[in-house]
Structure 1
Amino acid sequence: MKIHYECIACTVAQAQKITEMSTEDVEMRKRAMVFLANRLGEFFREDSVPATDGGRLFLELYDFLGDDDPFGEYKRISTGLARSVAAEVRRVGDIKRALKLAIAGNTIDFAVSYGPKKIGNDLFDLASRELYIDQSDELLMELERAKTLLYLVDNCGEIYFDRIFIELIRREFPALDVYVAAKEGPIINDATVEDLREAGFDKIARVISTGSRLPGAPLEYASPEFLRLFERADVIIAKGQANFETLSDLGDGRIFFLLRAKCSPISRELGVPKGALVCMRSKF
């Protein structure tokens, strides 16, 4: 997916959040945002992929601020809340219900001030909604005949709901070889390989790094190991908007996108209302 007109403003807003999370020093914040303004034109062109070029810019901002993980505390809180909620809902026995919970998990802010019970109620409310695009039957059919699944996670809190879904995939398709991929290091609130191991993914699947810290899975920045796995996987499940942004232009029918259309550019690309929940096979 190439940038839409809103994407640059979104990048600037995210950069402001990064800066405010990184330092209380108002003068440093000003210098950081001026630095960002001077770099914007170097990164964005009409054919830019927002997650990739925005992510590259964020990493430069991290270096400027001298903070390698500005979202660290946010992620710690998110992980604790999500773990608590997932412990209450992990008795889900239906694979389609688990799939919808995984998508719903992509929509909840697990670092907000309300508690696990309210988050759990909101999660189940979202999961009770119909998918606006529902190609889950097609996904399950492909998993039935697949040998290898590559599952690309998104944010740190929601991975606990991905785990519930993956556990049911393993139960339904016991012969399937499952790999779960996350970022090599911290970028915004994305899950890292370390987060996956902390959540116990290494007990239910093979954990792998994309080889990059960039949001999504931009293949031009991926490791050779990840690229080899990506090429041979029979089915690829890609969670969240950044994975859609970086992989949708491939026209690869092995990829199924699970996400909520949280912004106008994504809803425009998908042809769905803003806020819609989607399980969609990549166009090929």
Structure 2
Amino acid sequence: AVTDIIATSLVERIVPTYRELYPDRKELTRALVKLATVGNLIDLNAFHDVSDVEAKFMEAQHRSFMVSAFDSLYDSLDKGTSLVYLLDNSGECACDRAVLEHIGQAYPNITEVTIAVKAGPLINDVTMADINNPALGFLDLRFGPDRVKPTFVQMGSKEGGKWPNSAKACDRQMLLGADTVISKGQGNFESLCDVNWPQNAPMVDGVRERVNIYFLFMCKCERMVDLLTSVADHYTQMPPSATPVPIVRGSVKTGVLLCVTSEPETAQYR
């Protein structure tokens, strides 16, 4: 509850300022996506003391993405019609609502939106109880010219790292079928970057169709920082005109990656 209040208060103060600072649609998209990524700091599993959450939050706003693929994200949002947004911690969901609200206003072609929560809270994960809380504003979201309501679903189980392999086949197919998937949190990244997808996933040019996922999270352990530093090295060696190459794990390309690190001393920033 404390973190919900902190995040909601921050968003209420920051978002109107962003709308004035970034009149360009793409620039505002970038600013709000970064806000949602930095919001991943509001995690009681990683940071037990919430007294300085706002200070950490504001400091992290000035960092760069370790791996950035905004051009690809803009293209996905411009050309697609469907979006799946996977929520993570309840304390940061006000930041996610701001992103979703912006998408509903700035990308009228996005008409089919599914917002997914876990079946239950591992620690402070978003649940249907949060979605149904009028104060958080999820029930007011609308998309497309006809102002269509989003669909809210529960996926997998409340245990970390269990889904979508533990989800129903139709849930996994929902991720495969979406034009764009935005996934919040390190736990969802760990689950989805090496998932055993159905064998009947569509093939394109002899390669299994990728799940078009954009991961947004703060690194919260040394091992993840090491992994993503190597990924960042790969991306920064590519020519500017090159199309970002998705990370390949097993038979599935997990899409491009967006992330920032949480502690300055643990990685080199790009």
TM-score where L is the length of structure 2: 0.66
User: Residue 90 of structure 1 corresponds to which residue in structure 2?
Assistant: 15
Give SS of 1:220's match: coil
| Distance change (3 Å), C-alpha of 1:160 and 1:217 | farther
Deviations 1:84-105 (A, max 9, x none): 2222223132111101110100
Give SS of 2:116's match: strand
Supply the AA of the counterpart residue of 1:201. Answer: F
Matching residue within 48, 67, 90 for 1:156: 90
Computed over aligned residues only, the root mean square deviation of the Cα atoms, in angstroms, reads: 2.7
User: Residue 227 of structure 1 corresponds to which residue in structure 2?
Assistant: 172
| Distance change (3 Å), C-alpha of 1:226 and 1:201 | farther
User: Residue 202 of structure 1 corresponds to which residue in structure 2?
Assistant: 139
Supply the AA of the counterpart residue of 1:200. Answer: G
Q: Distance in 2 between matches of 1:121 and 1:272?
A: 29
Q: Note the C-alpha offset of 1:216.
A: 5.2
Q: Note the C-alpha offset of 1:211.
A: 4.2
Q: Distance in 1 between matches of 2:137 and 2:103?
A: 16
Matching residue within 113, 125, 131 for 2:59: 125
User: Residue 170 of structure 1 corresponds to which residue in structure 2?
Assistant: 104
Q: Distance in 1 between matches of 2:91 and 2:224?
A: 21
Deviations 1:40-91 (A, max 9, x none): xxxxxxxxxxxxxxxxxxxxxxxxxxxxxxxxxxxx2222222222222231
Percent of matched pairs sharing the same residue:
29
Q: Note the C-alpha offset of 1:268.
A: 2.5
Structure 1 residues not aligned, in runs of 5+: 1-75, 274-279
| Distance change (3 Å), C-alpha of 1:216 and 1:100 | farther
Aligned pair 1:147/2:92, yes or no?
Answer: no
TM-score where L is the length of structure 1: 0.63
Q: Distance in 1 between matches of 2:246 and 2:216?
A: 9
Deviations 1:232-270 (A, max 9, x none): 211111111101110111493401111111112212222
Q: Distance in 1 between matches of 2:4 and 2:119?
A: 18
Give SS of 1:258's match: strand
User: Residue 241 of structure 2 corresponds to which residue in structure 1?
Assistant: none
Contact 2:40–2:92, Cα closer than 8 Å, also in 1: yes
Contact 1:159–1:196, Cα closer than 8 Å, also in 2: no
Matching residue within 102, 107, 126 for 1:191: 126
| Distance change (3 Å), C-alpha of 1:216 and 1:200 | farther
Contact 1:153–1:181, Cα closer than 8 Å, also in 2: yes
| Distance change (3 Å), C-alpha of 1:208 and 1:184 | same
